[in-house]
Amino acid sequence: MASAAIFSSLRRRRSPSLEAFLAPVDLSDVALMETLISVSGDVTSCFSGNRFPFQRRNSRALIGKVEIFRSMLECLRDSAAAAGGALPPTAVLCLKELYLLLYRSKILLDYCAQSSKLWLLLQNHCVSGHFHDLSQEFSTLLDVFPVGEVSLSDDVREQIELLQRQSKSAKLFIDKKDDALRIRFFWFLDEFESGRIPDYKDLRCFFLDKLRILDAKSCKVEVEALEEQIVNHEGDVEPTVPVINGMVAITRYCRFLLFGFEEELEIEIQKKGRKRLITQEIAGTFLTVPKDFCCPISLDLMCDPVIISTGQTYDRRSIWRWMEEGHCSCPKTGQLLSHNRLVPNRALRNLITQWCSAHGVPYDPPEGVDASVEMFLSACPSKASLEANRATAMLLIQQLANGSQAAKTVAAREIRLLAKTGKENRAFIAQAGAIPHLRNLLSSSNAVVQENSVTALLNLSIFERNKSMIMEEEGCLGSIVEVLQFGHTTEARENAAATLFSLSAVHDYKKRIADNVGAVEALAWLLEEGTQRGKKDAVTALFNLSTHTENCLRMIEAGAVKAMVVALGNEVVAEEAAGALALIVRQPVGTIAVVKEEAAVAGLIGMMRCGTPRGKENAVAALLELCRSGGAAATERVVRAPALAGLLQTLLFTGTKRARRKAASLARVFQRCENASLHYGGLGVGYAFASDSASTRNTTSFVSDVSLPMSISVPVL
């Protein structure tokens, strides 16, 4: 019980709270003395030889107190066993309170031993206060402990009395050297805030000589620990999130400035050398994976466990794909999700890491910051973090330009991660000249390099000004299309499609993208054969391209119309597919192509029955345009569609405002058909809501309004 609470406190890496210090067991039902001796023994054995990065004097003093109490407890146990007597009631109450103090001591020492060096340094005053509070409570305990009423040896009694006197005179101790380092780090922040990059020697002295952060791996651990503090941050707790952002950015900059890329490369090589499928490795060693470590969806060992709104835990990739497919419920419980936020389950991830390490199973936790960190980094930028990120980008781009092939691999990955957050980051990465180098890496035979490069371009393209830089870079569009066609990994092809969608948001680029050889064909193939995420990326790109009238013929020739008709049967992409078809059938050549597809009308009717509100709107819009542009044959095919009359009546009452207008317009088209009275004689009831004159006037006004041109909204992704 105690270890679990301690583990939770360490995982969160925040200052120990009052709740964390509560005793986890009811001491009235346990062997009190043995429990106290065990806890005090754990503290002394675990931390006596530990070199604390900071709070050294406070830690040594606390461990010394615990050692004295352990001697007292052992003496009480031995004397009680010899005399067979019970302890006085006052002593029992004091010993129960001592349990809480020992437990809190263990948590605090664990916190100081395991926390990020930078975070511990920045919390120097707060943590020193925790040590002083414990010292005062030990002093209070000794004041009321009945030393004269218990049997103690002379040397133990002398130690207790000496500790009593020392505790009374103890004052808050803040290490001046530690505090000087804290002030020094804030000076670095001020330098970056002012647009000045601190001297290399100063940064090296601080990180290597003072903090003893001696390699790239340790620096990366510091960055990840500070990012955890961003996720766990509570309101007005100091330092503020913008300050922590600056710390993260400076530490990331120093990671590459001080240690270069060589150690990063060694880490990459080690990962590649041991990277095999975890499930295969476990099968080879005949291990049974604990059930709680497996994702309920994929049934595989979780690499990145996250908690959803229902409290259930899944692997991030699996639950993300589940949500991308349009599901709004928990796969395990069936409960509706109140939101789509994914909270990292770091406690479980650490347990999985420990289990894999104990059984020799390779396990690589995901790299980079999670969505919660990204949100904070985007919402709370500081001048210091922006300037440090700018300096980091310059180092990375230098490696993209002149580094070894392996160094370019690392740089592309870091550019990708840096471009994930904030328009400022995206702006200066592009301005610094990253795009030409990323373009060159798109043709790399290394799958990791290619995937990171195309994803970096995708992230950069989100910033509006970068779209023109990407499109104007010679050969860049063609290289993106080649990744879409022949990418080494599924993720690379999907992200290439998403990049085309992002670029096609600019009207002038839609024709250029569609005219690029193979672009539309590859998007159509991805829409038919890709993963659910790939289909989503492809259909949104095709939707954007379809909004340019000159792309219609090109999309028909490339097979995009057929792919979108097939996509009507997939609830994840049907809405966008119907919207694109509604635009294509506005042109005669598009109408002919859609009419040739036997499943088109049936697919649109199916969307009117089971689609989303926007999907139903797009479906009825497509049918309306098919009737208007397709002539008698197309209209007849729509008119003969079964169940359409009832669906139109339902839509007239329950659809969106625009869907109702389009449904009413489609009803008027039917009325003008030669056999409309035969097939839809009762349809007029659907929009003639009452027989009184006022209602009739309202209906007439409503129907006349539907002759306005139809517009399709681009979905926000």
**Cα separations in angstroms, 468 against 155, 323, 461, 500, 509:** 81, 32, 9, 13, 9
Q: How far apart are CA 541 and CA 524, in angstroms?
A: 10
Q: How far apart are CA 607 and CA 623, in angstroms?
A: 11
User: If you write DSSP's letter for every residue of 353-418 in order, what string do you get?
Assistant: HHHHHHTT----PPPS--HHHHHHHHHS--HHHHHHHHHHHHHHHHHHHHS-HHHHHHHHHHHHHH
C-beta separation of 574 from 582 below 8 A: no
pLDDT over 50 (residue 521): yes
Tell me if the pTM is above 0.85. Answer: no
- CA distance from start to end of the chain: 45
Spatial strand order of the sheet with 343-344 comes to: 313-315, 305-307, 343-344
Give helix then strand counts, H and E, for the chain: 37, 3
Please give the residue that has the higher pLDDT: either 714 or 43: 43
Ramachandran category for residue 294: left, alpha or beta (phi over 0 → left; psi -120 to 50 → alpha): beta
pLDDT over 90 (residue 482): yes
The structure tokens listed for 498 are 């998403």
Please give the residue that has the higher pLDDT: either 636 or 305: 305
Residues 6 or more apart whose CB falls under 8 angstroms from that of 452 comprise: 409, 412, 413, 415, 416, 441
Mean pLDDT over 540-544 rounds to: 90
Q: Which range has the worst mean pLDDT, 261-265, 330-334, 373-377?
A: 373-377
Q: How far apart are CA 560 and CA 387, in angstroms?
A: 45
Mean pLDDT over 70-99 rounds to: 79
Q: How far apart are CA 639 and CA 448, in angstroms?
A: 53
692 burial via Cβ count (<10 Å: 0-12, 13-18, 19+): exposed
10-24, 270-284, 314-328, 448-462 — which one is most confidently predicted on average? Answer: 448-462
C-beta separation of 582 from 618 below 8 A: yes
Q: Which range has the worst mean pLDDT, 255-264, 283-292, 473-482?
A: 283-292
Please give the residue that has the higher pLDDT: either 341 or 427: 427
Please give the residue that has the higher pLDDT: either 683 or 587: 587
**Cα separations in angstroms, 204 against 5, 84, 107, 687, 693:** 37, 63, 32, 77, 86
Which of 499, 601, 485 shows the shortest CA–CA distance to 544? 499
Average pLDDT, the chain: 78
pLDDT over 60 (residue 684): no
Which of 552, 550, 613 shows the shortest CA–CA distance to 581? 552
Q: How far apart are CA 252 and CA 254, in angstroms?
A: 5
pLDDT over 80 (residue 37): yes
Residues 6 or more apart whose CB falls under 8 angstroms from that of 638 comprise: 601, 623, 626, 627, 644
Q: ∠711-716-717 over CA atoms, to 5°?
A: 145
Which pLDDT belongs to residue 705? 28
Q: How far apart are CA 105 and CA 132, in angstroms?
A: 11
| Residues of the chain above pLDDT 90, percent | 18
Please give the residue that has the higher pLDDT: either 216 or 682: 216
C-beta separation of 364 from 271 below 8 A: yes
Q: How far apart are CA 167 and CA 137, in angstroms?
A: 9
The 10 Å CB-count burial string (b at 16+, else e) for 451-487 is: bbbbbbbbbbbbbeebbebbbeeeebbebbbbbbbeb
C-beta separation of 482 from 516 below 8 A: no
User: If you write DSSP's letter for every residue of 84-123 in order, what string do you get?
Assistant: -PPPPHHHHHHHHHHHHHHHHHHHHHHHHHHS-HHHHHHT
Which pLDDT belongs to residue 406? 83
C-beta separation of 480 from 442 below 8 A: yes
Which pLDDT belongs to residue 169? 82
Which pLDDT belongs to residue 236? 52
Q: How far apart are CA 527 and CA 478, in angstroms?
A: 20
Which pLDDT belongs to residue 8? 38
C-beta separation of 687 from 703 below 8 A: yes
Pairing of strands 343-344, 313-315: unpaired
Q: How far apart are CA 265 and CA 271, in angstroms?
A: 10
Which of 9, 175, 236 shows the shortest CA–CA distance to 106? 9
In SS3 terms, 510-550 reads as HHHHHHCCCHHHHHHHHHHHCCHHHHHHHHHHHHHHHCCHH
C-beta separation of 479 from 443 below 8 A: yes
User: If you write DSSP's letter for every residue of 205-242 in order, what string do you get?
Assistant: IIIIIIS---SHHHHHHHHHHHHHHHHH--TTPSSPHH
Which pLDDT belongs to residue 698? 35
